Chains A and B, each alone.
Chain A
Amino acid sequence: MSHQEQLIPHNHVLRYTFRERLVHWIAAGSYIYLLCTGLAFWTPWLYWIAAVFGGGQISRMFHPWMGLVFTVAVGYMFGMWAPQMHFEAVDHEWWKALPYYITNRDDKMPPAGRYNAGQKALFWSFFFGGLLLLASGLVLWFTESIPWSLRWVRYIAVLVHAATALLTIGNFMIHVYMGVFAERGAFGSVIRGDVSLAFAKRYHPGWYKEIVGEASTSNDLPPGD
């Protein structure tokens, strides 16, 4: 079976539909706003960032609303991508082979599908991280409404919000690094939607096979590295 309708002339293949790209950038834009204003509130040494976004009061006012935008985008992504994000046998193997991936010996990697295990882990970390940030963020948004007898809810919320944000920041940095710097062609794919067949074959051999079919996995294309 193959999905050759995804093929684009000049050896390219559609990787992200317009809908996927749009939702990705709504999530990315809102996340970057949340990251910048959040870092301003995180440490005095970065409070100047709040000035860039209109001052501390304005940043405080829009941070929770932008959080809702991010929540909606992540929720939409969940509906769109969750079925493709289940961990399969190849993903466990891929995860074990991570040192090869990190040191750019991609020929030694098990054949990842449309998403490799790292991408799947990123998806779930942002999904569950988003849930925790939303729950703790609602407490912080309406902190004055929490009665004194339930103050422990506030104590949990400040810790959960900061710790979860830090975890997503770590994943965000790796995500941007992989997409912009490490995997050439990935950044273009989330803007224009397509990748080269070489890219598909190199990083997502399982997905490549799905699209071009079994018959075409000969050595027509240059090897990955």
Chain B
Amino acid sequence: MSQATLRVQKISAHAGSIPGRDTQRDLQVCKLVDTTTCIGCKACEVACVEWNSMPFSPTVFDNTYQTMPETRWNYWNLILFNEHEREDNSLQWLMRKHQCMHCADPGCLEACPADGAIVQYSNGIVDFQQSNCIGCGYCITGCPFNIPKFNTETKRVYKCTLCADRVSEGLEPACIKSCPTGCLHFGTKDDMKDLAETRAKQLRDVSGFAHAGVYDPPGVGGTNVIYVLHDADNPELYGGLPSNPQIPLAVKLWKHPLKWLGNLAIVGGLAGLFIHYLRFGPKAREEEDLILREGKRP
């Protein structure tokens, strides 16, 4: 959670207007991860833990270079390794920096029932406000990227903030600053898209990766973290990056048709019962029972 004074354009579970929406022009910020030049050094992992002052988190050795199987409440940024054997039997070592994608249509925010526990700033950053979080874990259900992580001690959920605290002061996120190969870039969404497309074209035309492309999934309205992939047709190869991420259908059904049908049924039911009483009243009046005479008891 950041203390920064960024304008808010979306608020989870908020009844009424959004105070910051459309009050200020703001550029969409974007993190570009070029998986083709990542060397898996994990400097970004360390920088993330360090900048966010997170406690030490034990690593899990699984005979690969991977630090642990998935992100944790106190480990928001993880390089996912995959030793991929291509059709010509040559080995390709795929590495992807995995963190919150900062979706334009965030499933976490959609699912959240706590007012103000998840906000989206006008620059596109999706941020959890732990002071408003009630720890229900619905964001975990809503996220198509397996990002929000629950802390069983604090009963709150945590994830990458895109260093909203740094970004609001005009600094790049900590992971970007630490990258030694320049595979991480930070700027406006438009600039990063241009840069990514240029790089993808270079990979296709010059480097022989015919399927190279940019990952900016439209199913969640685009993301404020985008990837350059050697093989954009198979994003799953990169540590299970979903090829067409969507807010889960169950969450959409639950938060839209079911909610409105349910609300309509409850309000309609209450009105119906009230009207029934006005029309028909009680079935019988207690006075009728009270006129029973003593001695008529069977």
Hey, which bits of chain A sit against chain B, CB under 8 A?
A: 7, 9-11, 40-45, 47, 50, 56-57, 59-61, 102-104, 106, 140, 143-144, 148, 151, 154-156, 158-159, 162-163, 166, 169-170, 173-174, 177, 181-185, 196-199, 202-203, 212-213, 215-216, 220-222, 224-225
Ordered by A's residue number, 5 sampled pairs between the chains whose C-beta atoms are within 8 Å are A43-B15, A47-B13, A155-B250, A181-B273, A202-B283
Q: Is B280 within 8 A of A104, CB to CB?
A: yes
Does B179 reach chain A (CB closer than 8 Å)?
no
- Out of A40, A103, A183, A216, which one reaches B298, CB within 8 Å? A216
For residue B150, which residue of chain A has the nearest CB?
Answer: A144
- Out of A40, A151, A173, A199, which one reaches B141, CB within 8 Å? A151
Q: Is B115 within 8 A of A44, CB to CB?
A: yes
Q: Hey, which chain A residues are within 8 Å of B134, CB to CB?
A: 41, 50, 56-57, 59-60
Would A159 and B250 be within 8 Å (CB), given that A183-B283, A197-B298 are in contact? Answer: yes
Closest CB in chain B relative to A51 CB, distance in Å: 10
Does B198 reach chain A (CB closer than 8 Å)?
no
Q: Is A184 within 8 A of B283, CB to CB?
A: yes
For residue A173, which residue of chain B has the nearest CB?
Answer: B269
- 4 interchain residue pairs of minimum CB distance: A216-B298, A155-B250, A144-B150, A143-B137
> Please, how many angstroms separate the alpha-carbon atoms of A199 and B289 in the complex?
7
Closest CB in chain A relative to B244 CB, distance in Å: 16
- Out of A42, A104, A197, A222, which one reaches B283, CB within 8 Å? A104
Q: Is A225 within 8 A of B284, CB to CB?
A: yes
11 A-B pairs besides A158-B111, A173-B269, A197-B292 with CB distance below 8 A are: A11-B297, A43-B259, A56-B132, A151-B146, A170-B265, A177-B277, A181-B273, A184-B289, A185-B289, A202-B284, A212-B298
Q: Hey, which chain B residues are within 8 Å of A196, CB to CB?
A: 289, 292
Closest CB in chain A relative to B293 CB, distance in Å: 9
Does B235 reach chain A (CB closer than 8 Å)?
no
Q: Hey, which chain B residues are within 8 Å of A220, CB to CB?
A: 296, 298
Q: Is A158 within 8 A of B13, CB to CB?
A: no
Closest CB in chain A relative to B18 CB, distance in Å: 12
For residue A145, which residue of chain B has the nearest CB?
Answer: B150
> Please, how many angstroms separate the alpha-carbon atoms of A143 and B292 in the complex?
59
Q: Which residues of B129-173 have CB atoms within 8 Å of chain A's CB atoms?
A: 132-138, 140-141, 146, 149-150, 152, 155
Q: Hey, which chain A residues are within 8 Å of B132, CB to CB?
A: 56
Q: Is B292 within 8 A of A222, CB to CB?
A: yes
Give B48-61 as 1s and 0s: 1 = Cβ < 8 Å from A's Cβ atoms: 00000000000000
Would A159 and B296 be within 8 Å (CB), given that A103-B280, A183-B282, A184-B285 are in contact? Answer: no
For residue A154, which residue of chain B has the nearest CB?
Answer: B141
Does B286 reach chain A (CB closer than 8 Å)?
yes
Q: Hey, which chain A residues are within 8 Å of B289, CB to CB?
A: 11, 184-185, 196, 198-199
> Please, how many angstroms separate the alpha-carbon atoms of A224 and B285 in the complex?
10
Does B47 reach chain A (CB closer than 8 Å)?
no
Q: Is B141 within 8 A of A158, CB to CB?
A: yes
Q: Is A56 within 8 A of B280, CB to CB?
A: no
Q: Is A140 within 8 A of B262, CB to CB?
A: no
Q: Is A11 within 8 A of B254, CB to CB?
A: no
Q: Is A45 within 8 A of B15, CB to CB?
A: yes
Q: Is B292 within 8 A of A185, CB to CB?
A: no
Q: Which residues of B95-146 have CB atoms within 8 Å of chain A's CB atoms?
A: 111, 113-115, 132-138, 140-141, 146
Closest CB in chain A relative to B220 CB, distance in Å: 16
Q: Hey, which chain B residues are within 8 Å of A103, CB to CB?
A: 280
Does B216 reach chain A (CB closer than 8 Å)?
no
Does B191 reach chain A (CB closer than 8 Å)?
no
For residue A169, which residue of chain B has the nearest CB?
Answer: B266
Q: Is A159 within 8 A of B14, CB to CB?
A: no
Q: Hey, which chain A residues are within 8 Å of B137, CB to CB?
A: 140, 143-144
Q: Hey, which chain B residues are within 8 Å of A40, CB to CB?
A: 113
> Please, how many angstroms separate the alpha-carbon atoms of A215 and B135 in the complex?
63
Closest CB in chain A relative to B173 CB, distance in Å: 25
Does B270 reach chain A (CB closer than 8 Å)?
yes
Does B20 reach chain A (CB closer than 8 Å)?
no
- Out of A60, A104, A106, which one reaches B135, CB within 8 Å? A60
Give B243-287 as 1s and 0s: 1 = Cβ < 8 Å from A's Cβ atoms: 000001111011000110011011001100100110011111110
Q: Is A173 within 8 A of B296, CB to CB?
A: no
Q: Is A158 within 8 A of B254, CB to CB?
A: yes
Q: Hey, which chain A residues are within 8 Å of B262, CB to CB?
A: 42, 162, 166
For residue A143, which residue of chain B has the nearest CB?
Answer: B137
> Please, how many angstroms separate the alpha-carbon atoms of A154 and B249 in the complex?
12
Does B294 reach chain A (CB closer than 8 Å)?
yes
> Please, how many angstroms separate the alpha-carbon atoms of A166 and B296 in the complex?
46
Closest CB in chain A relative to B115 CB, distance in Å: 5
- Out of A140, A144, A213, which one reaches B149, CB within 8 Å? A144
